[in-house]
Amino acid sequence: MYDVIIIGAGVSGVTFASKISKYAKTMLIEAQDYQKEIPIRTNIFPEHNKPFVKEELDWNNKKIFPNPHTTSNYMSDEFNGVIDSKEFGIPLGNVSYTENLIQYLITQLESHGGTFKSNERISKINRYNDHLELINTKGESYTSKLLILATGSRGFELQRSLGFGVPDSYIGVYLHLFGDETKINENLRWNYTFHINPKISKNGPFFFNKGVERISAGYLGEKNQSKEEIISKLERILKNYKPIQSFVDGLTYNISDAIVGEISKHPIKKYSNDRVLILGEAAGIVSAFFYEGLLPGVACADIAAKTLKPLFEKGSNFSRVELQEYDKEVNRVLMTYFKNGNAFEYLIYNESSSVKSLWNLYTKLLSENKTCRKYIYDAYINHDLSKHIVSNDRYVGEKLFGMLPTLSKLTLSPKFFKAMLLL
């Protein structure tokens, strides 16, 4: 019998596994074949993630964090709204080679005596009073006192079977483009480029995340887009979309390497039940506008480990009441910061004809207004997001509203009013 079994070796699962395995008999199970390859991912890993992994990860490990994240460009067709950390202080965070981060934390788990099983999918879970039984697709079973679901957007059946809700889920696509470091830096000045064009998607951004010899490009698409559609649209964008041609010029890529996957948002109501916790994206804890999912992954992992440590020590039976502390803490730590994503999502991700002009104005605002840039910078580097200053987001909202032409002010004021109420 294991003390704890974690299903899913994404960032949430591996972070939690590396933490809990120090004091509990732990097994981590992953459906993908990591022996063959952990799929490469070049991600943005803001400074505000750091407190949740400060004991596990060395911020200067270049294999995991090849370069600092110093510049973000909130880009429209007309303006570059650039947040450059040099204007204010320390970097905004790091760029992460997330496949190396995952591998490193699995090695940590194993060095603590934990077990990692790859290429194994759990298909059924039976609940008993004093333990759970997990059965994989080969019919083998494991027992555990406690179960952690860190299944991202790929385990909805399992979480439903345990009485949890499932979040809203969208499709996304990304692809890596390669080139030498100099060429990549010539092409793209910013570590992170976040671009909205409703013709690309009404639900999310088109983005570039810049590593050292590779760039990840992709976008978050519509709910019912097929895999073929989203990939062929990405190819058309990379080949023909004028605003980004200079970024991709001369870089190599193979469109058949594009990865398509679901991404969820809008948190479900509860993240715990008797003997079960649910972490990160599986619980829909991804910020609604920026689709920031690594922060919730590492935060949930840290909060779960801190909640469980004393329970292990006192020989708890992990009742729902005891585990509810985890829900409360996750909400306390993350949901104030998440409000700005909710407000922005409401303003921007919709069918209305004003989306493009609003996004143009927002990027103009950032390019012109230092206070707005500073407020965004502060959110990137804030080590205690429970104290995120919501009035800063209101200030940015008010400035944006102030820039609207008079007629748009009249038509959009109800929308702005409602967005402000979300803050």
Site track for ligand FAD across 28-47, x = CB under 6 A: -xxxx----------xx---
Q: Which helix (H) or strand (E) holds 367?
A: helix 355-368
Q: Which residue is at the shortest CB distance from ligand FAD?
A: 293
CB closer to ligand FAD, 293 vs 341: 293
According to DSSP, the β-strands at 276-278 and 214-220 are unpaired
Question: Closest separation between CB of residue 415 and ligand FAD, Å?
Answer: 27
- Measuring CA to CA, which residue among 267, 263, 418 is closest to residue 344? 418
Provide the CB-side half-sphere exposure for 7 (13 A, CA). 32
Query: Does 91 help bind ligand FAD (rule: CB under 6 A)?
Result: no
d(CA 107, CA 97): 16
Q: Which of residues 291-350 bind ligand FAD (CB under 6 A)?
A: 291-295, 297
Question: Closest separation between CB of residue 67 and ligand FAD, Å?
Answer: 14
Q: How far is CA 397 from CA 307, 362, 419, 421, in A?
A: 36, 9, 9, 11
d(CA 386, CA 328): 12
Question: Closest separation between CB of residue 256 and ligand FAD, Å?
Answer: 17
Query: Does 191 help bind ligand FAD (rule: CB under 6 A)?
Result: no
Q: Which of 150, 230, 234, 412 binds ligand FAD (CB under 6 A)?
A: 150
Please name the residue that has the structure tokens 């270049």: 62
CB closer to ligand FAD, 194 vs 401: 194
- Measuring CA to CA, which residue among 109, 127, 135, 121 is closest to residue 25? 109
Site track for ligand FAD across 199-218, x = CB under 6 A: ----------x--------x
Q: Which of 281, 329, 345, 393 binds ligand FAD (CB under 6 A)?
A: 281
Q: Which of 4, 5, 6, 7 binds ligand FAD (CB under 6 A)?
A: 7
CB closer to ligand FAD, 12 vs 307: 12
CB closer to ligand FAD, 179 vs 280: 280
Please name the residue that has the structure tokens 């994206």: 281
Query: Does 397 help bind ligand FAD (rule: CB under 6 A)?
Result: no
- Measuring CA to CA, which residue among 210, 204, 199, 194 is closest to residue 248? 210
CA dihedral 290, 293, 299, 305 (to 10 degrees): 170
Q: Which of 91, 172, 179, 284 binds ligand FAD (CB under 6 A)?
A: 172
Give the binding-site size for ligand FAD (rule: CB under 6 A): 37
Q: What are the residues whose beta carbons fall under 8 Å from the beta carbon of 275, sequence distance 6 or more?
A: 127, 131, 132, 145, 146, 147, 317, 318
Looking at 5-13, 331-339, 354-362, 398-406, which segment touches ligand FAD (CB under 6 A)? 5-13
176 DSSP β-pair partners = 216
d(CA 189, CA 187): 7
Q: Which of 151, 201, 203, 272 binds ligand FAD (CB under 6 A)?
A: 151
**3-state DSSP call for residue 309?**
helix
CB closer to ligand FAD, 219 vs 359: 219
DSSP-derived secondary structure letter, 90? S
d(CA 58, CA 61): 5
Q: Which of residues 229-268 bind ligand FAD (CB under 6 A)?
A: 261, 263
> How many other β-carbons are positioned within 10 Å of the β-carbon of residue 303?
25
Question: Closest separation between CB of residue 262 and ligand FAD, Å?
Answer: 8
CB closer to ligand FAD, 260 vs 361: 260
Q: What are the residues whose beta carbons fall under 8 Å from the beta carbon of 253, sequence distance 6 or more?
A: 175, 176, 177, 178, 238
Query: Does 12 help bind ligand FAD (rule: CB under 6 A)?
Result: yes
Q: Which of 64, 122, 333, 348 binds ligand FAD (CB under 6 A)?
A: 122
Binding site for ligand FAD (CB under 6 A): 7-13, 29-32, 43-44, 121-122, 150-152, 154-155, 158, 172, 174, 209, 218, 261, 263, 280-282, 286, 291-295, 297
